Amino acid sequence: MIRKAMRLLLAAPLALSVLAVPAATQAQDTELQTAEEIVAAMQPGWNLGNTLDAMCCSPGADETAWGNPRVDDTFFNDIKAEGFNSVRIPVSWGTRTGPAPDYTIEPATMDRVQQIVDYALEADLYVMINTHHDSWQWIEHVADPEQHDAVMAQYSATWTQISETFKDYPQELMFEPINEVGFSGWGPGTERDHELIGELNSSFHEIVRASGGNNADRLLVLPTIRTGSDPGDMNALAAQIEALDDPMLAATTHNYGFFPFSANLAGYPSYNEEVQNFLEEDFQRQVDTFVSQGVPVIIGEYSLHDNYENRVERGEALKFFEHFGYLARTSGITTMWWDNGRHYDRYKREWRDQEQFDYISTAWTTRSGTASTDNVYVDASDKIQDQSVTLNLNGLEFEKVKYGNTTLRAGRDFTFEGATLTIKAKMLKSILDDREIGTSGQLKVYFSDGMPWKLNFINSEDVVIEDATGTNTGLTIPTAFNGDRLSMLESVYADGTAAGSIGWTTFPGFWEDFRPDYENGAILLTKQYLDALKDGEQADLTFYFWGGQTLSYTVVRSGETVTGSVA
């Protein structure tokens, strides 16, 4: 609490000037910046992922090793123009470091890191650099008593060199000691884990502060175990920050949402109330543990699980990003979007998914309304009926519905009561006049602020699957989707236990264990899933589709032969 009071005392005389001056201008006067002010001015942030961190994993690998172009002196101007105020630059140093006892970082590598940092600073961005894949390549071996001293020596040498190189840089540059380090697997840390990361954080703090120059009061961003937000891990970091008694410290965590939703497994294909509550509680814990005590928080990475574009239904993903942005804004927590090249095309200098970015950037300032679904499946074999969805107003007001440039008329084309929007059958006939399976019509629902929500009405019929034979390399199940889409799969043995590669859930992972092939009309059960099945024992499968249909199927693996049958 003393630390919090000191921060508030330092910040109070600056309140009026902070409100009146743009963030980029504030950053020029380092003497006026508290840790809270720096972190607040960083929002929103972006990650230069899979670039300097890509030096980690093969001989001679450089920043282009994982498919991204070299960063030039104009790149960060474009990132700044997209609305970002900070960039996290992950760096892997280990493969560019010489042997003991000096552990000298290659001069060319340090020069290149310095050049990229300069580019970002010149674009008026706050910058955070770290040690990235070093965490799992060598730093985590500090837990081995036989390697402990050697690891600490290399760690100390690494941060001594980084500190010396950047000690005269302005306060817009900050240091993060390590990325997602863990010593006993994923999950909450043990007491020993907390001791080890505490040692790493303390050593880092001592090295940087002793190096002089602007490092004496540079913002240092300390992580939890695995950069997670488990209460015990955050409490351990909070205690360490309190003990260090340094007002220029921030805490950092990472956030990829509720894992079963983020990876679409364990029966969580939707951004439902349970998934939403998980995220809300996560933010609140960070507020209670850090922010309310005067310790600013940077979520140094956030997104959904890698390849979520194929795993998570699009509308459900948009709901997550909209809600995440709202919670960050109202919690006073700065966030840095993880982008390894999947989002911003660094060759074309444009977003690969502009609408997704629009949802994310809109959430920086306001909410957007959503709905219970973005796809409504209309039976193409039957007479068209009225179709209803529930709107999530998110504190906004419903305004209108449009079909192209035409605004629909209330009463005639739709009704809106409570939170239920009902599109009349007559209106649907006009947009689904061609009842061909798979064709669709789109309406846009507008609210008093934020993004409009797209509603796709799709002509569909019952999904049909067929028997199949194959090998354990993969079973291709012929499937007539008939306009529908696959949601999830349940897989059990006769006794009700999980059948597949994930023993703790009866719902295997979308894409890794099974995946749809809409273009070729098939569902693929992958080698990973099939290899995990008990030899000769029948697995009972239930396929769930977004249109509401479920289909039963059985699979038996006998050696390398796999047989699938409609149940």
Q: Which residues are catalytic?
A: 180, 301
DSSP string across 412-460: TTEEEETTEEEE-HHHHHHHS-S--TT-EEEEEEEESSSPPEEEEEEEE
How far is it, in rounded angstroms, from Cα 382 to Cα 462? 12
List 510's β-bridge partners, or say none: 514
3-state secondary structure of 110: helix
Q: Which of 165, 269, 141, 152 is nearest to 214 (CA)?
A: 165
Query: Crossing angle for the helix pair 148-166 and 107-122, nearest 10 degrees?
Result: 50
3-state helix, strand, coil in the chain (%, to 5): 35, 25, 40
- Angle value at C-alpha 219, between 216 and 220, nearest 5 degrees: 95
Distance CA 80, CA 88 (A): 13
Check: CB of residue 104 under 8 Å from CB of residue 88. Answer: no
198, two tokens: 């505490």
Give the residue from 224, 302, 239, 307 showing the smallest Cα distance to 45.
302
- Give the integer Cα–Cα distance in Å for 155 and 143: 13
* Whether residue 188 has a cis bond before it, omega within 30° of 0: no
Helix, strand or coil, per DSSP, at residue 36: helix
Question: What are the contacts of 497-506 at 24+ separation with CB within 8 A?
Answer: 499/532, 499/533, 499/534, 499/537, 499/539, 499/540, 500/529, 500/532, 500/533, 500/539, 501/528, 501/529, 501/531, 501/532, 502/265, 502/266, 504/266, 505/260, 505/265, 505/266, 505/267, 506/267
Strand arrangement of the beta sheet that strand 375-379 belongs to: 375-379, 453-460, 440-447, 398-403, 406-407
296 and 286 in contact (C-beta within 8 Å)?
no
